[in-house]
Amino acid sequence: MATSWPKKRRLIGAKVQRLDGPAKATGKAKYSYDINRKGMLHAVLLRCPYAHAKIKSLDTAAAEKMSGVKAIHPIKKVGEELFWAGEEILGLAADTEEHALDAVRAVKIEYEVLPHLVKEEDALKNDPQTVSPVGGKRNNVLAAKEAASQGFEKGMADAAVTVEGSYGVPTICHQCLESHGLVAEWNANGELTVWASTQAVTATAAILAGHFRIPANKVKCITHYMGGGFGSKFGPDIQGIVAAELARKANAPVKLMLDRASEITAGGCRPSAYGKVKIGATKDGKVTAYEVDCYGTPGVGLSDTVTFNALPYVYPFEHKRKHVRIRTNTQLQRAMRAPNHPQNCALTEFILDDLAAKLEMDPMQLRLKNLPQNDPNAMQNAPHSLPALRHTIYTREIEIAAALSKWKEKWHPPGKTPGIIKHGIGMALHTWTGQAVPQRNECTVIISADGSVTARTSSQDLGTGQRTVTALVTAEILGLEPEQITLQFGESPNGASSGSGGSTTVPSQAPATLRAATAARDDLFAKIAPKLSAKAEDLVIERGKVVDRASGKSWDWKKACAALGEEKAQATGFWTAAESNKPENKDVSSSGVGGVQIAEVLVDTETGVVRCTQIVAVQDCGMVVNRLTCESQVAGGVIMGLNYALFEERIMDRVTGRQVNPDMEFYKLGGIEDMPKILVYLHDMPERGVIGVGEPPVISTHAAIGNAIFNALGVRVPHTPFTPERVLAALAAKGGGQ
Amino acid sequence: MNDTGEHNHLDQQDVGPTEAGLSRRDFLRTSGAAATVAALAEVPAALAEEAPAQSPAKAIGPEPVQLTLDVNGAAMTTYVEPRVTLLDALRNYLDVTGCKRVCDRGTCGACTVMVDGKPIYSCTLLALEAEGKKIKTAESLIDGGKLDAVPAAFVKHDAQQCGFCTPGFVVAMRAAFDQNPNATPAEIEEALSGNICRCGTYQQMRDAIVALCKNQPGLGTRKKEG
Ligand code: FES
Ligand code: FES
């Protein structure tokens, strides 16, 4: 049966307060970190202090005898090599956290310290071969990926003007406020329950079941509340597995949450990207070719640090691209909010403003000239897809952003304002997908005879407002209020769901809820119609009641449900990418968004301090489900992007191979007083169906701020974060600020 | 932490023999806790003056000692080692988990509680230092179904996402309004400058602040927001 959203929508698209808001704001909500079980032990991990070392000897005898110690679980053995400072060696559980910390210090361990590399640029001069072997080779610098479009050479040759520059973004840390970890508890039947801080409830349960070789239904993962993941919290991780191992050994519940330094050094980081970029254009600003040669570090891993096939970003220039991965003795990179798109955005958007300056053009006009065209094929076959609409969407969004920011009045040629404190305005574009995932996502809706309604799913709410979305969709279909829906959320036995990554949860879950609520309603009608002397097909929902269209009679919701008697009305709905792609389900969920951001800054040319004063964020997001939480996501993305621009950087020490700022004092994040005014504009297109919005708003903020600083100074500050030191260095390189 | 930011609880202790029979010097020497040693590293000069080596010192620990705290109006008793922070005593020993542990060293504000009405980073105060004082956590800002005006404004304006930082912000803001019911939005923002949110809820927080400041007077006394 075809699925579609109701034509008339009362709640969908309205501003609905978070249902778990009061519990969270008053500290009553229990996060995984807050779970205290009877007889629970506290566990800590011993980590390698060196960036590269071999374990020479390991003696836990003294630690085992320490007060309160109940279990030790080895992770690494004598003779094994460790490849980054922070790598896990063993786990230890004791009756109190204090005892666990004392005992882990009593572990006697000797290392053979080996050469390391922690700064990617160092490897370009001389490859020290300090990482784990891949195909027998320990190279830090991996073979380059290269590609070019057919028209590149001609494009560069035809260019009337060319500009070159170097740009880059550093490795940054996820800094989830609730650290990674979980509480593990086994029962007498050999069943494991974990309260995990995870973005993937069902995957966490499945991975643990696989690790312990027990049936999947013997592991239950619970994530009722989650204190931030941003892409770094999929699965139990090593600490989750160790906690469960320790719990089994000690026959007691175990809590293992990372401390702050571990959270930062081992809990995830976004990879760096630095590149040389060259761009060519005609005199009137039509870009003819774009070339990028970039590198970055995935840490000890192997993955790209840019989205290779999306360079240049957003704009379909003739291009030549090269990317080199440099493996370092640092933690493995993890996905971070729109993985690799902020890197691509910086490597594309910065040079556009440098080009505009050389052409003496308004950079907004330059962008309008170079936007991707609507794809005629897509316009035929998928008229609501981003390829079919991209030119239209970006053009409209730029118009809206220009009006909201008063671009015409405020923009000036770069560096052309008088005085010490200079004003600048800049912009950048971004894109993201945000579609339903291939895996099955389920939601179950149950209506009881007392009129109570339960919506149940294993899916998790990371703070995006997913819980409220589920209630809101259910309430819309059943003519109720969101508060009337009881939610059973974030427990792995509640059905199939996927991890929350890639802005996929609303487009995967909301249609499943729509189907479940619709089918539960129909089940209700079928069951109560005979008792109400009506035909099921004549029954409809109106706000708070069931109406018989044939007789005109109506029953208040509770009365109508009472006719269920001993029965319940119930249905499970599911959604997948394949369902989304079926012609009969078109425009329920879809993929592809664009966004435009405009930033304004004041830069003090004497101190180098940048103050961001305003950001306009125009974001398309298909059909808005909850306008309140959707706006929060966009503003939150902008704030995270502002942190990228002005504050965040992982700083590694070349000599010790350790991070020098694994804390919250020297790893900076902005506070409320650092915040600009943020204007969020949702470019609502309900005809496109539901598209995820969690990630896209973070992508272009740092590029917009970087371009605003360029507009203020007339000088490019090439690398984020735009700290006073970097601003002053850039000014000095060009001979001062005046 | 006291107002000047030092750990000075030992200065305020009487000098005399302890239950455990340890002198203060012994305590300093035998305590295995790096955190405690680090915290005490600032005071030895003062200690030496105050407590000559010969005089018997009243010291406590390192074994657990009885701790009674007044938390949200209820007396709660447990046993903790003297090195345990107020934050850890509340969370790990008394199951009061509204205050969150994030940085654990006085940077982020997630652990903010009120101690005798003042907002304090509970990770920087030893639990024993809080004895005899009135501790209030975010949990005190809901009474049955009745929500205090500050968390109510957070809910209404959606000033929270993951919510892990939120109880800390709510307590800091409540304390700021308690101290000055006529505070301006800028003054409230200043009072929140010791708190960090990773999800980026400041914009909505500003909406909440503006609404709360407009609704003056009356914030000094708790009331339900309509
Ligand atoms: S946990 Fe106390 S200030 Fe961060
Ligand atoms: S709401 Fe997540 S850290 Fe503030």
Please give the distance, rounded to the nearest whole angstrom, from the Cα atom of residue B94 to the centre of ligand 2.
Answer: 24
pLDDT of res. B12: 34
What's the mean per-residue pLDDT of chain A? 97
Q: Which residues contact A44 (CB under 8 A, 6 or more apart)?
A: A91, A92, A97, A100, A101, A104, A256, A259
- Tell me the pLDDT tens digit for each residue of B94-115: 999 999 999 999 999 999 999 9
Q: Which of A225, A664, A665 sits opposite B163 (nearest CB)?
A: A225
- Tell me the pLDDT tens digit for each residue of A392-413: 999 999 999 999 999 999 999 9
Q: What does the alpha-carbon distance between residue B128 and residue A517 come to, in Å, rounded to a whole number? A: 53
Q: Which residues of chain B have pLDDT under 50?
A: 1-52, 217, 220-226
Task: Compute chain A's Rg from CA coordinates.
Answer: 28
With beta carbons under 8 A apart, name residues in chain B contacting A27: 97-99, 137-139, 167
CATH class of segment(s) A21-29+438-488+500-585: alpha beta
Best interface-test mutation with A: which of B202, B205, B210 has the largest number of A CBs within 10 A?
B202
Q: Which residues contact A469 (CB under 8 A, 6 or more apart)?
A: A506, A509, A510, A513, A625, A626, A629
Q: Which of A29, A34, A639 sits opposite B200 (nearest CB)?
A: A639
Q: What does the alpha-carbon distance between residue A106 and residue A68 come to, in Å, rounded to a whole number? A: 13
Q: Does the distance separating the beta carbons of B83 and A228 come in below 8 Å?
A: no
Beta strands in B32-175 (DSSP E): 65-71, 74-80, 112-115, 118-121, 134-136, 142-143, 146-147
Atom 3 in ligand 1: residue holding the nearest Cα: B106
- Tell me the pLDDT tens digit for each residue of A177-232: 999 999 999 999 999 999 999 999 999 999 999 999 999 999 999 999 999 999 99
Q: Which of A22, A639, A672 sits opposite B151 (nearest CB)?
A: A22
Q: Which of A21, A639, A678 sits opposite B160 (nearest CB)?
A: A21
Ligand 2 pocket, residue B199 CB under 6 Å: yes
Let me know the angle formed at the C-alpha of B59 by B58 and B65, rounded to the nearest 5 degrees: 120
pLDDT of res. B35: 33
Q: Is A161 exposed, middle or buried (0-12, 13-18, 19+ CB in 10 A)?
A: middle
pLDDT of res. B72: 98
pLDDT of res. B55: 56
Mutate to test the pocket of ligand 1, among B1, B105, B166 (most ligand atoms within 8 A of CB): B105
Chain B contact for A127 (CB, 8 A cutoff): no
- Tell me the pLDDT tens digit for each residue of A88-111: 999 999 999 999 999 999 999 999
Do A240 and A194 touch, CB atoms closer than 8 A? yes
pLDDT of res. B215: 78
DSSP type of residue A622:
B
Mutate to test the pocket of ligand 1, among B123, B137, B166, B169 (most ligand atoms within 8 A of CB): B123
% of residues, chain A, pLDDT over 70: 100
The candidate with the shortest Cα–Cα distance to A131, out of A60, A172, A81, A91, is: A81
Q: Look at residue A449 and give its three-state secondary structure.
A: coil
Q: Does the distance separating the beta carbons of A25 and B154 come in below 8 Å?
A: yes
Cβ-Cβ pairs closer than 8 A, A with B, add up to 185
pLDDT of res. B216: 62
Do B207 and B159 touch, CB atoms closer than 8 A? yes
pLDDT of res. B61: 83
pLDDT of res. B17: 34
Q: B1 to chain A, minimum CA–CA distance in Å? A: 17
User: Which residues of chain A does CATH 3.30.365.10 include?
Assistant: 21-29+438-488+500-585, 338-435+590-734
Q: Which of A31, A177, A632 sits opposite B158 (nearest CB)?
A: A632
Best interface-test mutation with B: which of A505, A672, A682 has the largest number of B CBs within 10 A?
A672
Do A455 and A524 touch, CB atoms closer than 8 A? no
The candidate with the shortest Cα–Cα distance to A224, out of A192, A281, A186, A183, is: A183
Ligand 2 pocket, residue B203 CB under 6 Å: no
Q: Does the distance separating the beta carbons of A177 and B162 come in below 8 Å?
A: yes
**Residue B177: how many CB atoms within 10 A of its CB?**
25
With beta carbons under 8 A apart, name residues in chain B contacting A20: 163
Do A233 and A197 touch, CB atoms closer than 8 A? yes
Buried b (16+ CB within 10 A) or exposed e, A403-418: ebbebeeebeebbebe
For residue A377, pLDDT beyond 80: yes
Q: Does the distance separating the beta carbons of B190 and A25 come in below 8 Å?
A: no
Chain A segment 616-645 residues within 8 A of B by beta carbon are 628-629, 631-633, 635-640, 643
Chain A segment 8-47 residues within 8 A of B by beta carbon are 17-18, 20-22, 24-31, 33-34, 36, 42
Which residue is it, tokens 């259910």? A474
Chain B segment 162-221 residues within 8 A of A by beta carbon are 162-167, 170, 189-190, 192-206
Tell me what ipTM this predicted complex has: 0.97
Architecture of the CATH domain A338-435+590-734: 2-Layer Sandwich (3.30)
pLDDT of res. B16: 34
Please give the distance, rounded to the nearest whole angstrom, from the Cα atom of residue A335 to the centre of ligand 2.
Answer: 19
Q: What does the alpha-carbon distance between residue B85 and residue B88 come to, in Å, rounded to a whole number? A: 5
For residue A651, pLDDT beyond 60: yes
Ligand 2 pocket, residue B175 CB under 6 Å: no
Which residue is it, tokens 């870009």? A287
Do A446 and A453 touch, CB atoms closer than 8 A? yes
Q: Cα-flanking dihedrals φ and ψ of residue A47, to 5°?
A: -120, 155
Q: Does the distance separating the beta carbons of A177 and B198 come in below 8 Å?
A: yes
* Direct distance between the N- and C-terminal alpha carbons of chain B, in angstroms, rounded to an integer: 37
Atom 1 in ligand 1: residue holding the nearest Cα: B104
pLDDT of res. B219: 53
With beta carbons under 8 A apart, name residues in chain B contacting A30: 97
* Direct distance between the N- and C-terminal alpha carbons of chain A, in angstroms, rounded to an integer: 68
CATH class of segment(s) A32-114+180-257: alpha beta
- Across the beta sheet with A554-556, the strand order is A539-542, A545-548, A554-556
Structure tokens at A95: 């009756």
